[in-house]
């Protein structure tokens, strides 16, 4: 091809400059039109656009609730739109929408425990306290631990919706064969004593416990282990992964690996359901699917430890950029979506937690729980939950960062140095992105 001449290079540089300028215009232009055109197009107060990833295959349940809402509020229609296959995709899509025209923002989005905060921090979500108060609705019936997860600077930025916790699933028959009591381990130390007994009876081609790997929320489950040993990923905005107690938990995980009683997998539920793992930690949201997929009877139990169960899952949030009229309709719908009757409906369809205190007094829910002891365990564990560490859920990229470190620990790297490096990274993000905005 022709040589790259000086003139050619200058032309190229100029063209690149123009292109960059255009891109910048596109970005800034949108903000201007966004504020100007307001609610002209898009949702509008009579139409609520809801982006959901249908947690727990819940599209059908969501549609039922929407139908009931439209019946009760004839002036408002709700448009349920697919926001992606998981929380991260939905957050990505919402991020894209924020760059566009405000009139085209959705009215309601599903926001997970790790995705909501960054939006709230950048003032992209509306505070629900004010909206609820203005609409004359109360928030005190929400389960406190779940509602307070969305607290930031004195305001809440989402309402709990598809909330889950990890749950201890075990294969009852393998438990029996190993001569273990029919219950989950009280502490992780107790599980360590049990593991060899399990291994001896299930055979060497099966594994006593299967856990998700670092890219599939091991960081979520490991919080329980860290808390069991008195450690944590962080205290408020101070990272504490290099605290001796957290390191002890990391070493404990390594001991289990050394004993060859634990395996890590992208889809632990697959191995558990295939009957090649005696137990697993998995979200309560997987309860419905696991029940349908398994050929054998399994049981559930509280996580090891007391009061050591992290909360998780998703809430519903309202973008700050939409007009006040649209917000009014949106809050009305969101409250309806999470009211007592609907949280009961949604819970039973998926295995997620009831987010209202009054849901537990509901006669239908009581009957359901009596018939489904596994769900009952999950609901009872709710009283023993604890809000997650900031380093995982509030610091940008926290889950992935901790997951990567845990993968390194599981691969046998020195726990103290891995966790020290993790703390340093976490601190860096906090200093750069969060401290200035607090």
Shortest distance in whole angstroms from residue 240 CB to other proteins: 27
CA atoms 311, 314, 320, 325: torsion sign: negative
- Residue number with CB closer to other proteins (33 or 372): 33
Task: Pull the structure tokens for residue 377.
Answer: 């365990």
Contacts to other proteins by CB under 8 A: 1-2, 4-5, 7-8, 11-12, 15-16, 22-24, 26-27, 29-30, 33, 41, 49, 51, 53-57, 59, 79, 81-82, 84-87, 89, 92-93, 96-97, 99-101, 104, 164, 267-271, 273-276, 282-283, 285-290, 292-295, 313
Residue number with CB closer to other proteins (97 or 379): 97
Question: Beta-carbon neighbour count of residue 94 at 10 Å?
Answer: 23
DSSP 60-76: HHHHHHHHHHHHH-TT-
CB of 103 to other proteins, least distance (A): 9
Asked if 269 and 293 count as a contact pair (C-beta separation under 8 A), the reply is yes
CB atoms closer than 10 angstroms to residue 390: 21
Question: From the CB of 97, what's the least distance to other proteins, in Å?
Answer: 8
Q: Minimum distance from CB of 435 to other proteins (Å)?
A: 25
CB of 157 to other proteins, least distance (A): 21
Contact 118, 111 (CB under 8 A): no
Compare residues 222 and 229 and give the one whose CB is closer to other proteins. Answer: 222
CB of 214 to other proteins, least distance (A): 16
Give SS3 for 325: helix
Beta carbon nearer to other proteins, 283 or 348: 283
Angle (deg, nearest 10), helices 340-350 and 363-371:
20
What is the C-alpha to C-alpha distance for residues 367 and 362, in angstroms, rounded to an integer? 9
**Minimum Å distance from CB 5 to other proteins?**
7
Nearer residue to other proteins within complex by CB, 282 or 348? 282
Asked if residues 287 and 216 have their Cβ atoms less than 8 Å apart, the reply is: no
Shorter beta-carbon distance to other proteins: residue 132 or 309: 309
Residue 330, token pair as written in the block:
């949106």
**Smallest distance from other proteins to CB 432, Å:** 20
Which one, 46 or 293, has the nearer CB to other proteins? 293
For other proteins, which is the closer residue by CB, 289 or 397?
289
Inter-residue contact 54 to 62 (CB < 8 Å): yes
Q: Using CA atoms, how far apart are residues 171 and 282, in angstroms rounded to an integer?
A: 13
The smaller minimum CB distance to other proteins, of residues 10 and 134, is found at 10
| Closest CB to other proteins among residues 274, 411 | 274
In terms of CB distance, is 93 or 332 closer to other proteins? 93
269-306 burial, b at 16+ Cβ within 10 Å, e below that, comes to bebbbebbbbbbbbbbbbbbbbeeebeeebbbbbbbbe
* Cβ 438 to other proteins shortest distance, Å: 26
**Burial of 191: CB neighbours in 10 Å, binned 0-12, 13-18, 19+:** buried
| Residue 277 Cβ vs other proteins, minimum distance, rounded to whole Å | 11
The DSSP line for 241-278 is TTSHHHHHHHHHHHHHHHTT-EEEES-HHHHHHTT-EE
Q: Give me the residue label for tokens 């409250």.
A: 335
Distances (CA, A) of 219 to 53, 114, 165, 209, 385: 22, 12, 13, 16, 16
Q: Report d(CA 303, CA 283) in Å as an integer.
A: 11
We find the least distance from the C-beta atom of residue 11 to other proteins, in angstroms, to be 4
């Amino acid at each position: 091809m022709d040589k790259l001449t000086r003139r050619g290079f200058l032309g190229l540089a100029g063209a690149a400059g123009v292109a960059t300028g255009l891109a910048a215009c596109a970005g800034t232009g949108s903000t201007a039109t966004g504020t100007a055109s307001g609610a002209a197009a898009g949702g509008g107060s009579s139409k609520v656009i809801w982006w959901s990833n249908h947690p727990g295959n819940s599209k059908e349940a969501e549609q039922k609730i929407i139908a009931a809402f439209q019946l009760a509020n004839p002036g408002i229609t709700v448009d349920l739109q697919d926001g992606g296959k998981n929380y991260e995709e939905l957050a990505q899509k919402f991020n894209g929408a924020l760059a566009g025209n405000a009139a085209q923002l959705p009215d309601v989005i599903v926001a997970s425990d790790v995705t909501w905060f960054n939006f709230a921090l950048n003032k992209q979500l509306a505070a629900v306290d004010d909206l609820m108060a203005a609409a004359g609705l109360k928030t005190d019936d929400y389960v406190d631990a779940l509602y307070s997860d969305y607290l930031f600077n004195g305001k809440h930025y989402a309402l709990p919706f598809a909330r889950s916790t990890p749950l201890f699933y075990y294969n009852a028959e393998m438990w029996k064969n190993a001569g273990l009591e029919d219950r989950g381990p009280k502490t992780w130390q107790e599980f360590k004593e049990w593991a060899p007994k399990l291994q001896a009876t299930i055979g060497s081609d099966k594994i006593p416990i299967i856990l998700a790997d670092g890219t599939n929320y091991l960081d979520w489950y490991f919080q329980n282990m860290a808390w069991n040993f008195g450690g944590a990923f962080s205290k408020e905005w101070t990272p504490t992964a290099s605290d001796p107690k957290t390191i002890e938990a990391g070493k404990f995980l390594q001991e289990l690996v050394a004993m060859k009683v634990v395996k890590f997998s992208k889809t632990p539920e697959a191995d558990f359901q295939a009957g090649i793992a005696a137990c697993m930690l998995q979200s309560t949201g997987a309860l419905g699917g696991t029940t349908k997929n398994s050929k054998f009877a399994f049981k559930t139990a509280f996580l090891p430890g007391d009061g050591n169960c992290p909360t998780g899952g998703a809430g519903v949030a309202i973008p700050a950029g939409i007009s006040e009229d649209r917000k009014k309709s949106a809050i009305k719908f969101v409250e309806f979506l999470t009211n007592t009757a609907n949280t009961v409906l949604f819970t039973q369809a998926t295995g997620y937690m009831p987010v209202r205190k009054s849901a537990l007094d509901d006669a239908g829910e009581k009957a359901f729980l009596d018939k489904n002891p596994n769900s009952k365990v999950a609901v009872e564990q709710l009283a023993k939950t604890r809000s997650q560490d900031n380093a995982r859920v509030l610091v940008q990229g926290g889950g992935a960062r901790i997951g990567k470190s845990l993968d390194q620990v599981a691969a046998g790297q020195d726990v103290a140095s891995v966790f020290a490096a993790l703390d340093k990274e976490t601190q860096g993000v906090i200093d750069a992105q969060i401290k200035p905005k607090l």
